[in-house]
Structure 1
Amino acid sequence: MNGIDKNEQVNQRSRPGLAVIVIAIACAIQPVYAKHLPQQDMTSYVVRADDSLYTFADRYMQSPADWRLLRDINHVANPRHLQINARLSIPTSRLRQTLLTAKVVAVRGSVEKLGTAGAPPLPVSAGTLLMEGDQISTGRDAFVSMLLSDGSHVVLPSSSRIKIGRLRTTLLTGAVDRQFDLRQGEVTTDVTPFKSPRDSFRVITPSVVAGVRGTRFRVNYRTAQDATTVEVLAGKIGVDGSKADNVPPDNTSAPQPIKGGAQTLVLAGYGNLTRTGDAAGASVRLLDPAEMVDPGKVQSAPQVTFDITPVDGAGAYRTEIATDAGFLDLLRDQRTTGPQAAFDNIPDGNYFVRVSATDAHGIDGLPQVFTFTRRLDTTNAAATPIDGNGYLFRWHVDGAATGARYRFILSDHADLSAPLIDLLDVSGGEMSVAHLAPGKYYWTIVVDTFENGLLLSIPSEIRSFTQTR
C-alpha cells in the first residue's frame, strides 16, 4: 500500500468526517449561545467637532476605559479621530449618572428619616434635603411634602413609609430616573410632564409597579389586605402587578412585573385595585365628587365639622384639611364611614378642605376642594332675670379685634328663625329686654369684623332660657 499503514489510511479517511461533525456541533451551539446574549438599550449620539472616544468616555461614561467598549460596538478604526455628524451607539446602562435631591417643603407632626445599621432615626424638618436610599416615615396625624428638581411634588400623609429607590439624572441625555418604594400607607404625586422620552417616574409597592408620564395620582398600599389601590386624577399611568420578591434589593434596576400579567392602563378619573401576587386589577371609574352642606360657614364651634352630601356607591368618606390649595401643607386627614367629619384643635385661620367618597373596594373617588374660615368663638355670655318680666344680657369676647361690632338675636325658635329681636351694632357689651311672655327663648351674639375688606360674621353658641311668668 505504498508504504502507508492500513490503519493510517482509515484515520485519514475519517478525519474529514470528524471535521464536519465538529463544525456542525459548533454551528449548533453558536445560535443557542447567541440567544442568551443580553440585548442592550442604546442611546444615539451625534459626533461633534473635537470629539474622540477618549474624551467622550471621560466625560459621559462610567469609566474612562469604556472607550474600548465604544470602539468595539461602533467598529471605530481610530478612536482619536471621529467623523463629525456620525452617529455613535452608546450602551445606556454605561452612561454616567449624577444623584439628585428632594427638598422637604412642608412638615406636620412627627416625620423621621429612618437610620441604617441600627442608627437612630433623625427628625425631618422643612428644608431637609433627601437623597436616593433615604427612607421616610410619618407618624399619626403627621405629613411631609417633598419638591423634586423638576417641580414635581411627592406628599406622604400620616402613618406612611416610603424609600427613595432612585433619584438621579443621566449626564449625557438629561433623562431623570425617579423611583419611590412605598412600604406602608399612601403617597400622592403631582408629576411635572416629562421633557425627555427617557424620563421615568415609578411608584412601587409589594403589589404593583406604577409607571407615570406626567400626572396627578395616588397610590395606597393596604398592609392588612396586602393590596394596592391607585387613583388617577390627571394624565394616565400604566399599572403592572408585582410581588415583593420582584423588587431588586439594591434598586439598581426596575422591579419586574408578574410574568404573563397584562398591564392595566389607568386614565384620569379611573382607579384600580391589585392584590399582591396577582395581575393588575381592572380599571374602574372613580366615584363622583362629593358635595358639602354649607361649606362656606365660619367654623366657630370647638370642633370643626363638615356635613357631606351622600354619594351613591360610597362606603366611606375622606376629608382632608390643608393650608394651601395644592394640599402640600396638610393639616388633617380623616376617613369616616358616614357623611360627617369632625376635627379637634384646629387653630384660627383660612383653610382648604378636600372631600372624596370611597367605594366598596377602598378606592377614593374624585375629590372636591372648598375653602373655609376657622374662628373659634370666644364669647362669654350670660342672661340674668330682671324686674318687668325681662332679662339682662351681658357678653364679652376674648381677643376681640379692634372695631368689632356685635349683633344680638333673640327668637322663640331653636334655629333663630323668625327672630323677635335682631339688632346690629350693639355696643357696650350688654342690653336688656323686658315684657317677655312666658315661654322658651333662644339667643346669640354674632361678632362682625372686617378682614381684608370683607365682612366676617362669627356666631357664638346659641343659648336658651325659659320665661315662666
Structure 2
Amino acid sequence: MRNRMTSLALALALTCGFSVAQQAVPLPTGVVAAPGSFVVAPASITYFAKGGDTLIAIAVQFTGKADHWVQIGKNNRIDRDSNIPIGTPIFIPAELLSDDPVEATVVALSGSITARKADGIVIALAIGAKVSEGTQIDTANNGFVTFALADSSRVSLPSNSRVKIGKLRMARYTKSPRTEIMLLRGRVESRVSPLEARKGLFEIRTPQSVAGVRGTHFRVGILANGVANEVLSGKVAVAKPAEGASLTLATAKGAIVDSRTVGPMVDLLPAPRLVARAGADYATAQFAIVPVAGASAYRVQLSTDSDAIDIIAENNAATPQVRLDGIPDGAYFVRISAIDRAGLEGLTRIEPVRISARADLAQRAAAGAPNVDHSNQREIGLKWQPLGGRSFVLQVARDADFSWLVHTVRTAVPQASVPR
C-alpha cells in the first residue's frame, strides 16, 4: 500500500509543476523512503516530504532560516511555496544546513601559552584541553601549540603568534566542517583533512587576506610587507577580504598579499639539508645548513615527533648556521627551511638528530687523543696535547659508553698515569 501511495505522490508531483531534483540521493532498489524521513549523503541530504510540508517549513526545519526556501526551491525546480506532494524528494546541500558548535583538542604544547575564551575568561591549556569558538590563543617566545579539529585537521601555532577562532562548527547531519581562523600576529600552519567530498569550509583570515582550502598543508604569516601564503601540498585559493577574484596556489607555490594586490605567485625555495649526515650526534643544538640559492634567512625547528607537530624550539638566522639554546640531551627531529628575500618560507626537510654532551667529549678526544708515554707492570703513562692552560679529566672505562668507569684522574697538566 505504501509503495502505491508513494508512486501516486510522485506522479502527482510531476503533473503539478514539481520535479524530482537531479541531485537527490538515490535509494537502493526496492527501498521506499517514508514521508518525513531523510537520507544523508556526504555533502547533502534528501528529505521526503510529508503531508502539509511547504518549502518554508522545510527550510526552517533543516537550515534554521526561512529565507533559504528560495534556494531550496531553485535546487529542486519548485518555484512557489505551496504544499508539496507527499513523498517528494527535496535535495538540500550541506552549505544550507544548520550547524552545531564543536571543539578543538590540544594535542601538543610547549612553553608559555595564553588562551582567553570569548567571554574574557583565561583558561589553562594542557594536552587534551578543549578549545571553543571565539577563543584567542597567544604563544610567547618559544611557545608552541597544536590543536586537532573534529575532522582530524591540525592547526599549529609557532612562537610569538596570536589567533582567534572565528568559527568552529560542523554542519548538522552531514558533519561537514566549518572552520575560520583569524591570524592576528605571527604565523599559523595548517594540515587540513580533505573537505571536497563533504563541501566543508576551512579558512585562514587576516585583515588583508583570506586563504581557503579543501584539503592541504599550508602556512600563513603576517610580515611587515604583507601576508605570506605558502603551500606545501594541495591547493589554496588566496584573496583579499570582500573581493571575489582569487589566486590559486598549488604545491610549492607562494604569494604575498599586501594592501593593494594579491601575488604574484612564485616558486618556494627548495628544502635545505644539513651539512652533517641524517641522524648525526650533536654536542649542542647548533646546525650547519647547506646554503640555498636565493635564501636571505633560514629557520630551524626542533620537535619530538617526525611530523613536527610537537615543536619545542625554533630560531631564525641570516646565515646557514642556526643555534637553539637550552636543549637537553635526547633524540629529536629537526625541521629546516629557507626564507627568500620577500619573506616567503620555502619547503621543509625533517631529519632525525641526537643532542648529546658526550658527542662533545668524543669530538675533543678525536682532535687530541692521548698517546702512551710509558708503560710497565704497574701503570700506563698517557700524554696529550695541551689546550691553552686548561685542566683535564681523564677517565678509563670498561665499555664504550663509559657506563662502567674504573679510573678517573684530574690533572692540570696534559699527562697522567693510570694503574694497570
TM bin (shorter chain): 0.7 to 0.9
Amino acid at match of 1:273: I
Q: Is residue 2:64 matched to residue 1:78?
A: no
Q: Which structure's CA Rg is the greater one? A: 1
- Cα deviations across residues 200-254 of structure 1 (Å, max 9, x unaligned)? 11111122111112111111012x43x1111111111111133xxxxxxxxxxxx
SS in 1 for 2:248: strand
**Is the partner of 1:60 in helix, strand or coil?**
helix
Answering whether residue 134 of structure 2 is matched by residue 107 of structure 1, we say no
Residues 280-299 of structure 1 aligned to structure 2 (within 5 Å) = 280-295=262-277, 296-299=279-282
TM-score, structure 1 normalization: 0.65
Residue 454 of structure 1: aligned partner: none
The residue aligned with 2:256 is 273
2: CA distance between counterparts of 1:410 and 1:67?
A: 80
Amino acid aligned to 1:139:
A
Please name the residue that 1:238 is paired with.
237
Contact 1:43 1:89 in 2 (8 A): no
| Secondary structure of the structure 2 residue equivalent to 1:149 | coil
User: Where does residue 168 of structure 2 map in the other structure?
Assistant: 167
1:209 is the counterpart of 2:210:
yes
After superposition, the C-alpha distances for 1:74-133 in whole angstroms (9 at most, x for unaligned) are 536435x4234x34567954x32111111111111111212456x453221111111221
- In the alignment, does 2:396 pair up with 1:448? no
Letter in 1 for 2:329: D
Matched pairs, number: 349
How many Å apart are 1:136 and its aligned residue? 1.0
1:39-438 equivalences in 2 (<5 Å) = 48-51=33-36, 52=50, 53=53, 56=58, 60-62=62-64, 75=80, 77-79=82-84, 81-84=85-88, 86-88=89-91, 92-93=95-96, 95-116=97-118, 119-196=120-197, 198-222=199-223, 224-225=224-225, 227-242=226-241, 256-257=242-243, 262-275=245-258, 277-295=259-277, 296-300=279-283, 303-377=284-358, 415-416=367-368, 420=371, 432-433=380-381
The 2-side partners of 1:230 and 1:408 are apart by: 42
What are the ranges of 5 or more consecutive residues in structure 1 without an aligned counterpart?
Answer: 1-41, 243-255, 382-406, 422-430, 452-462
Conserved? CA contact 2:111–2:312, under 8 Å: no
Separation in structure 2 between the aligned mates of residue 65 and residue 231 of structure 1, nearest angstrom: 38
Contact 1:71 1:77 in 2 (8 A): no
* Alpha-carbon shift at residue 408 of structure 1 (Å): 12
Q: Which structure 2 segments of 5+ residues have no match?
A: 1-20, 27-32, 37-49, 373-378, 404-410, 416-420
User: For the Cα contact (< 8 Å) 2:174–2:198, is it kept in 1?
Assistant: no
Cα pair distance change 1:65/1:344, threshold 3 Å: closer
**Cα distance change on mapping 1:175 and 1:308 into 2, 3 Å:** same
Query: C-alpha separation between the residues in 1 aligned to 2:140 and 2:307?
Result: 21
SS of alignment partner, residue 270 of structure 2: coil
TM-score (norm 2): 0.72
Give the structure 1 partner of residue 5 of structure 2.
none
Residues in 1 aligned to 2:94 and 2:304: alpha-carbon distance in whole angstroms: 47
| Counterparts of 1:409 and 1:140, CA distance in 2 | 33
Is the 8 Å Cα contact of residues 231 and 364 (structure 1) preserved in structure 2? yes
Deviations 1:410-453 (A, max 9, x none): 67xxx348x756xxxxxxxxx8425x69x6589987983499xx
Cα–Cα, structure 1 residues 58 and 319, in superposed 2: closer, same or farther, change >3 Å?
A: same
What's the CA shift string for 1:324-356, capped at 9, x where partnerless? 011111111110111111122212221000111
CA distance in 1, matches of 2:304, 2:251: 25
Deviation at 1:56, TM superposition (A): 4.9
C-alpha separation in 1, matches of 2:309 and 2:363: 40
Does the CA contact (< 8 Å) of 1:410 and 1:420 recur in 2?
Answer: no
The letter of the residue matching 1:150 is D
Residue 298 of structure 1 and its aligned partner are, at CA, apart by: 1.7
Change in CA separation of 1:91 and 1:370 when aligned onto 2, cut-off 3 Å? closer
Higher relative contact order (CA 8 A, sep 6+): 2
